[in-house]
Structure 1
Amino acid sequence: MRYEPDRCRLLELYKETKITQRDVCKITGIPESQLSDYAHNRTTMGYGTAVTISRALKLPNCELLYTWRIVEG
């Protein structure tokens, strides 16, 4: 059994943490367009990027950036 990211939670996490996409951009240096691509599931962030963004949002771990699905086989 293995897990894969299902849906990015950035949009809801911006609201929960009261940290905006622009704030994350300023803190991390990741372009807003790239953050938007993640937030709208156009692309999936790599592990290093996920750690960077999760720290900017003050999350306890980067797994909270996504919902996860189990992949059989």
Structure 2
Amino acid sequence: MAFKVGRCLLLQHLTNSELTQQELADRVGMTKQQVNNYAHNRGVMTLENAINIASVLGCPVEKLYELEVVSVDALKKGRSSRRE
């Protein structure tokens, strides 16, 4: 079993926490634009940023993105097609 990372759920977490994008950005040491890009799926967080954001939001890191369960073969296929 493997996982494929899907849509970012940061916007929902921000709404639930009643934090603004600027407040989150200030707490984790990044720009509001970077947080906005993550929240609107225009970029994928580094593991370090995901850990810091999850810590501020009080949620597990894996809850920041939708995760799709896929077979290992499907995951390998997806990687090989990106290299071509």
TM-score category of the 2 structures, normalised to the smaller one: 0.7 to 0.9
How far apart, in 1, do the equivalents of 2:6 and 2:14 lie? 18
1:21-70 deviation digits (Å, cap 9, x = unpaired):
111111011111111111111111121110000111122x1111111112
CA distance in 2, matches of 1:70, 1:32: 31
- The one-letter code of the counterpart of 2:21 is Q
**TM-score when scaled to structure 2?**
0.78
Q: Look up the match of 1:33.
A: 33
| Runs of 4+ residues over 2 Å off in structure 1 | none
Structure (1 or 2) with the larger CA radius of gyration? 2
Equivalents in 1 of 2:55, 2:37: separation in Å? 19
Aligned-residue sequence identity (percent) comes to: 31
Segments of 5+ residues of structure 1 without an aligned counterpart are none
CA distance in 2, matches of 1:5, 1:32: 23
Structure with bigger RCO (C-alpha 8 Å, 6+ apart)? 1
Aligned length: 72
Residue type of the alignment partner of 2:42:
R
Unaligned runs of 5+ in 2: 74-84
Amino acid at match of 2:43: T
**What's the TM-score once normalised by structure 1's chain length?**
0.88
